[in-house]
Amino acid sequence: MAAYELPKVWKWEDENDKKGGNRPTAGARFEQKLPVGDAPFQLYSLGTPNGIKATIMLEELKELGVEGAEYDLYKINIGEGDQFGSDFVEINPNSKIPALVDQSQNPRLNIFESGSILLYLAEKFNQLIPTDIQGRTETLNWLFWQIGAGPYVGGGFGHFFAYAPEPMEYPIDRFTMETKRQLDLLDKTLAERPYIAGDMYTIADIAIWSWYGRLALGELYEGSYEFLNMDEYTHLLEWARRINERPGVQKGLAADYQPLED
């Protein structure tokens, strides 16, 4: 294989007019009307690590007996390019799931980015986030840590370990090193406290479990449990298994996605 020669100006060599697929431009690619139900929240998503944050959060709120947390859930098939439809882009101009609409507000309120959705719901219902400044700040520390750290696991380690056309030593070594550093950080943190931010289960646990808990349980990338030697992260594993048993988490994972069209 010839060595890669860095061009002075990068050019997209695989231009196409496909509905889905990556492009170096943003915006809607086609007209699409999204269905809208009667529930206060309309959630357009998919069962990815980022997507399940929203369903788990809403189901946890329902488990707490919160009124007004009902939602209609619609499947955005990112493999087919649904995230580039005009209605979805109006909710989230970045064309990523999950995207949430609070139609109990007038005018309706669009919320995008999984961390923003978790924080919005926590603050709206005053649940799963501490009210004291120390606890709230520690929760947000870890919430924003996950948002910044997660791409190294998904777009970095996960991509090159599970999805790249062929194994490549340099990127696999680079992203495995960082992923294991993050796992070690979580393991050491959870050796000292029952939940990520302290004694209370919070939105930080939901955000981090959706990526790192699922990874620790071997449910993200086939073969990664052994490859990452997950057995050495005993405190992380105990936390991941404990969170996995929560009814709200199980209901969030099993949520029924309605199709965009019948």
Name the region of 38 (left: φ>0; alpha: ψ -120 to 50; beta: rest): alpha
Residues 115 and 187 in one domain: no
Residues 78 and 151 in one domain: no
Residues 243 and 142 in one domain: yes
Question: Which pairing describes strands 41-45 and 71-75: parallel, antiparallel, or unpaired?
Answer: parallel
Q: Which among 116, 40, 38, 44 is positioned nearest to 86, based on CA atoms?
A: 44
Q: Considering 95, 128, 161, which residue would you say is the last residue of a domain?
A: 128
Residues 206 and 124 in one domain: no
Query: For the chain, where are the E strands, in sequence order?
Result: 41-45, 71-75, 99-102, 109-112
Domain count, the chain: 2
Residues 163 and 230 in one domain: yes
The answer, as to whether pTM is greater than 0.85, is yes
Per-residue pLDDT of the chain (262 residues; tens, 9 = 90+): 678 899 999 999 888 777 888 899 999 999 999 999 999 999 999 999 999 999 999 999 999 999 999 999 999 999 999 999 999 999 999 999 999 999 999 999 999 999 999 999 999 999 999 999 999 999 999 999 999 999 999 999 999 999 999 999 999 999 999 999 999 999 999 999 999 999 999 999 999 999 999 999 999 999 999 999 999 999 999 999 999 999 999 999 999 999 998 5
Residues 163 and 228 in one domain: yes
Residues 148 and 236 in one domain: yes
The answer to whether position 165 is within a domain reads: yes
Give one DSSP letter per residue of 18-80, joined into a string: -SSS--S--S--B--PPP--SSSEEEEE-SSHHHHHHHHHHHHHHHTT-TT--EEEEE--TTT
Q: How far is 28 from 25, CA to CA, in rounded Å?
A: 10
Kindly report the number of other CB atoms within 10 A of residue 126's CB atom: 9
- pLDDT tens digits along 147-184: 999 999 999 999 999 999 999 999 999 999 999 999 99
Q: What is the CATH classification number for the domain harbouring 76?
A: 3.40.30.10
Q: Residue 50: which domain range?
A: 41-128
Element (H, E) at 132: none
The answer to whether position 144 is within a domain reads: yes
Residue type, 223: G
**Dihedral sign, Cα of residue 17, residue 20, residue 21, residue 27:** positive
